[in-house]
Amino acid sequence: MPLSPSATRDLLARLAHFPKRALGQNFLVDGNIVMKSLELAGVTRGDTVVEIGPGLGTLTTALLDAGADVWAIEFDRNLHAHLEATLLSKFPSTLHLLQGDAIDHPLAALPADRAAAGFKVVANLPYAISTPWMDGVLGGPLPARLVLMLQQEAAQRYAAKPGSKQFGAISIFLQSAYDIAPGHKVAAACFHPRPDIESYLLNLVRKPAPFVFAADVKQLIRACFQQRRKQLGALLREKLPDEGRAWFAVLATAGHGPQSRAEDIPVSCWQRLTLNP
């Protein structure tokens, strides 16, 4: 079970560790939320699970106790040393712990053969890396499930619909590969130190036929949203090769003309954008 707020403070003091706001180090102190994460992900004995930023090891321990084979990556050297000292000896065959940057290793160095056999991601994701990390994961191989503790703002951006100010490139990439299942709101009081905003457990289930964008198309879509108030016709006329101009016909059939803006275009239309010769 998670440490209480006072026990968490005591442990951090013994480790001489001061939570780093820039790294999103807000430690979970509510056991119900830990169990909810495992429940939403459907974690069972023998599952392969990737965890990002295990911190003090609260979620890690619950995953290991449930019989999962856990691949975890921790950026903070002090916390990594604590995890090595407390968990590796207890779970020598099922905990695979890496010290490093999750942007460089979005799946915590999970071997390709294990990824191909199927895996899940369960993580309390640091806000600062949430979008670049997600972008890396969506490059594949794709996990079957992701249950991510996120700041509510990030969760809303991932789940945003066309026509909203929060709808953006990452919304398109994510929703092309995953269905958004019911999640769970998480109060600020569930963490130490207490964050300034609410959090959310985002629950993602891989689509039966996930769509993954080519790298050049992703780059163009990002460019469209960097100038989101500009009309697509003016924005893309010079950038879009002749082979891609058929996309404007796709937009027309969906009721969108060149005067439309990026945030107005549904996900299904973006999937038909191609830059291949």
- The full set of domain ranges for the chain reads 5-206, 215-270
150: pLDDT strictly greater than 80: yes
Quote the percentage of the chain above a pLDDT of 90.
66
Give CA–CA dist 115/101, Å, rounded. 19
Which stretch of 28-32, 90-94, 118-122 has the lowest confidence by average pLDDT? 28-32
From the list 203, 210, 209, the residue with the least C-alpha distance to 42 is: 203
- Tokens 């249950």 identify what position? 147
- pLDDT, residue 232, reads 84
Give the containing element (helix H, strand E) for 201.
strand 199-206
Per-residue pLDDT of 229-274, as tens digits, reads 888 888 877 667 665 567 777 888 888 888 889 999 999 999 988 7
Residues 6 or more apart whose CB falls under 8 angstroms from that of 179 comprise 204, 205, 206, 207
From the list 135, 125, 120, the residue with the least C-alpha distance to 70 is: 120
- pLDDT, residue 178, reads 98
Per the CB < 8 A criterion, the answer to whether 82 and 56 are in contact is yes
Per-residue pLDDT of 166-198, as tens digits, reads 999 999 999 999 999 999 999 999 988 888 889
**Which CATH code is given to the segment(s) 215-270?**
1.10.8
- pLDDT, residue 267, reads 95
DSSP string, 71-139: EEEE--HHHHHHHIIIIITTSTTTEEEEES-TTT-TTTT--HHHHHT--EEEEE--GGGHHHHHHHHTT
Which stretch of 21-30, 107-116, 217-226, 248-257 has the lowest confidence by average pLDDT? 21-30
Stated pTM of the model:
0.91
Q: Do domains 5-206 and 215-270 have the same CATH topology?
A: no
CATH architecture of the domain formed by 5-206: 3-Layer(aba) Sandwich (3.40)
